Amino acid sequence: MQGVGFRPAVWRVAKELGLCGYVRNRSDGVEVVILGSRRGEFLERLQKSLPQNARIDEIVAQECEEEFDDFVILESEEGKNGTLLMPDLSICEDCLKELFDPSDRRYRYPLINCTNCGPRYTIIEDLPYDRKNTTMAPFAMCKACETEYKDPKSRFYHAQPIGCNECGPKVRFGKLEGFGAIEAATEAIKEDKIVAIKGVGGFHLVCRESAAEELRRRKRRSKKPFAVMFGSIEAIEAVCEVSEKERELILSKERPIVVVKKKGGFTGAAPDIDRLGVFLPYSGIYHLLFSLLDEPLIVTSANVSEEPIVKDEDEMERLGIADAVLFYDRKIERSCDDSVVAAAEGKPLFYRLSRGFAPKSFYSPKPFPPILAVGARQKNTIAFAKERSIVLSPHIGDIKNVESFEYFQKVVDDFGRIYDFEPEIVVCDAHPGYETTQFAKGLGKKVIEVQHHRAHVWAALAELELEHGVHWSEWVGFAWDGTGYGDDGKIWGGEAFVGDERRYRFDYFKICGGEKAIKDTRLQGWSLAKAHGAQLGDRLFEVAYEKNINCFETSSVGRLFDAAAFLAGLCEKVDFDGEAGMLMERAYRGWEIGHYDFTIEPVIKIDFAALLRDDKPLIPTRFINTLAAIILQIAKKEQKPVILTGGVFQNVTLLSLAVKLLRSEGIPYFFPTATPINDGGIALGQVWRAVKNGVI
């Protein structure tokens, strides 16, 4: 990768050891030539002093005959193959110290960054990663910055977005500039105004809890939770229950939003549910802002009803959803949302892989032909394989309006151009109606369709092999989620695969109400009740159900969750994906409460008649226990390692319970911990299925 300070690290180690030679970037990696016989010592010391964002995938060594009398860093070879696009990095400790040091010339410079930190993905226009190929190009370096930029001893050496109060981009708020702008923005927030703030990958809407209702009105969002930024980990721990792993994730250098259990309050940010997405400042602007405040703030992506996050100040002004705008005059080339993660069983569970983590690149010892995968529809990401890399893009979003489709196309175009990549094969979902499927088919390349839930399982297998170095030749893969197009044209979402064979599925159940039913849990609950002999719905519903008007059949566990949540009296409608699951988790009481009867063959059937007769407060517990018991029974029958994946397993209660049961029986299991467990991982699975099935 470029832009992680690898060459200066090599230079320093060589200098320390008094070695002569050179280091330079090549199109296929980094070339180091050292004179003499101390290769082992050099490599050992280099491994120990690697910069925090660098990693060595492979070392190829050979003898050569050359003469040198110093160690130097040579100019990069032109060309861009093989180098990888870096994610944006949160501000490092050194920069943070200088930010608040009155004697430093970057004192209170909001956009401070160095080789170890700062924007990458969001400012790069082209590779190689050089200032002229970034949105920093219009800013000429001052003398002092230029000196640091050229000094291998400086941590600003070749820091492409280097700048200072004198020469860098300026932060603005109305007529104010720099720190004054941040002070004024803070005052506005304290007056309960909603302020748009330009983060690393796009604008946030920032306000106090007391302005949450107004923010919901403007964003046209009723209950979906907002993330909350805190000034310190101690401030988070005072109001939330934070496990060791959650603490580690909150403090990690990627600075994601971490979903934790709140002790109470925050009814503006997260109504009804007991979880809260929390994070810490990750850029100079937010650190300066929080140095002026002693309360947490709602910090949520600036967009209107599911469109992509806003990245340009003109657009932000035009939307008029904020009372005021704090921005800097460096362009964001492509937007990038915040990452969202939870912890389950001491492991990260990614709901959204984005800023800090993505583009996520995997290295393979074996080369791949060029393959592009376009993902599904919801939580879309793209992925590609080329040479010895597989790269998964950051979160793009739900492809359901013109704006998000345009953004999707931009990411596809940008990846193609930046990586100099022309796919031979394009992989897509099997859903004929997805915009991404139609896009794939319109490219005029060889197209492979991978059924949605098989892609989920293949994504888990990809991570298992590429990230953890484990290969399984057989498995039983549970892919449970909200929706996916099945081989038979029905809506799947409750399958278990042995290899590519769909060996288990939930019994199809008929839902009456069409698309509308997905948000209206009553319709799902009534439908499930009706199928098991109970009448809960109104007359109109009864007629429609019996006459098969606006009905569809599904094996989706996500839909069963919704129906069960309604039957438990928890919600009549849902406003966001996963809401029913979160309400069920909140009501969960433990494994001892027992589960409903079920059969797994020929299809999975739960005794829903028993659920309908049950005490409402016990339904969430027994329903979740039943799902876990089903997993265990299938796993015991198959005697194969188990994969758990799909949006349903974002439910930490279910996931943890299933894992505990499998562990107690000594059955190996895996769930994705470095890539999204939901549809954000589909593109990776599509690529991996194409790679692994010998179609190439």
Q: Taking the complex as a whole, how short is the minimal distance between the CB of residue 163 and Zn ion, in angstroms?
A: 6
Task: Choose one: 25-33, 61-69, 162-170, 276-284; the region binding Zn ion (CB under 5 A).
Answer: 162-170
CB of 516 to Zn ion, least distance (A): 50
Helix (H, G, I), strand (E, B) or coil at 279: strand
User: Which CB, 146 or 575, lies closer to Zn ion?
Assistant: 146
| From the list Fe ion, Zn ion, none, partner contacted by residue 565 (C-beta under 5 to 8 A by kind) | none
Select 116 or 483, whichever has its Cβ closest to Zn ion.
Answer: 116
Q: Are 179 and 288 in contact (CB under 8 A)?
A: yes
Give the binding range for Zn ion (CB under 5 A) out of 72-80, 84-92, 283-291, 440-448. Answer: 84-92
Q: Which is nearer to Fe ion, 428 or 544 (CB)?
A: 428
Among 145, 428, 583, 606, binds Zn ion (CB under 5 A): 145
* Residue 95 or 587 with smaller CB distance to Zn ion: 95
Supply the minimum distance, in Å, between the C-beta of residue 448 and Fe ion: 18
Binders in 469-528 for Fe ion, by CB under 5 A: 481
Contact status: 164 vs Zn ion (CB under 5 A):
yes
Q: Least CB distance from residue 168 to Zn ion, whole Å?
A: 6
Residues 6+ away with beta carbon under 8 Å from 645: 456, 457, 459, 460, 477, 478, 479, 671, 672, 677, 681
Would you give the DSSP letter of residue 269? T
Q: Is 142 in the site for Zn ion (CB under 5 A)?
A: yes
Binding residue (CB under 5 A) for Zn ion from 1, 54, 84, 92:
92
Pick what 142 binds: Fe ion, Zn ion, none; C-beta below 5 to 8 Å, kind-dependent.
Zn ion
* Residue 679 interacts with, from Fe ion, Zn ion, none (CB under 5-8 Å by kind): Fe ion
Query: Which residues partner with 258 through β-bridges?
Result: 278, 341
Question: CB 165 → Zn ion: shortest distance, Å?
Answer: 7
Taking the least distance from each CB to Zn ion, the nearer of 136 and 583 is 136
Rounded Cα distance, 471 and 118, in Å: 36
Q: Which residues of 358-390 are buried (b: 16+ CB within 10 A; e: fewer)?
A: bbbbbeeeeebebbbbbbbbbbbbbbbbbebbb
- Tell me which of 197, 679, 680, 687 binds Fe ion, using CB under 5 A: 679
Helix residue ranges per DSSP H, 452-520: 452-466
Contact indicator for 281, 382 with CB cutoff of 8 Å:
no
Residue 597 burial (CB count, 10 A): 11
Phi-psi label, residue 561: left if phi above 0, alpha if psi -120 to 50, beta otherwise: alpha
Closest CA to 353 of 318, 396, 402, 323: 396
For residue 683, what are its two tokens? 């593109």
Site membership for Fe ion, residue 577 (CB under 5 A) = no
- Smallest distance, Å, CB 52 to Zn ion? 10
Closer CB to Zn ion, 155 or 208, in the complex: 155
Whole-angstrom distance, CA of residue 149 vs CA of residue 140: 12
Binding of residue 117 to Zn ion (CB under 5 A):
yes
Nearer to Zn ion, 178 or 668 (CB): 178
135 vs 650 by CB, closer to Fe ion: 650
What would you measure as the largest C-alpha separation in the chain, in angstroms? 91
Tokens 């969430």 sit at which residue?
A: 620
Contact set with Zn ion (CB under 5 A): 92, 95, 114, 116-117, 142, 145, 164, 166-167
Contact set with Fe ion (CB under 5 A): 481, 679
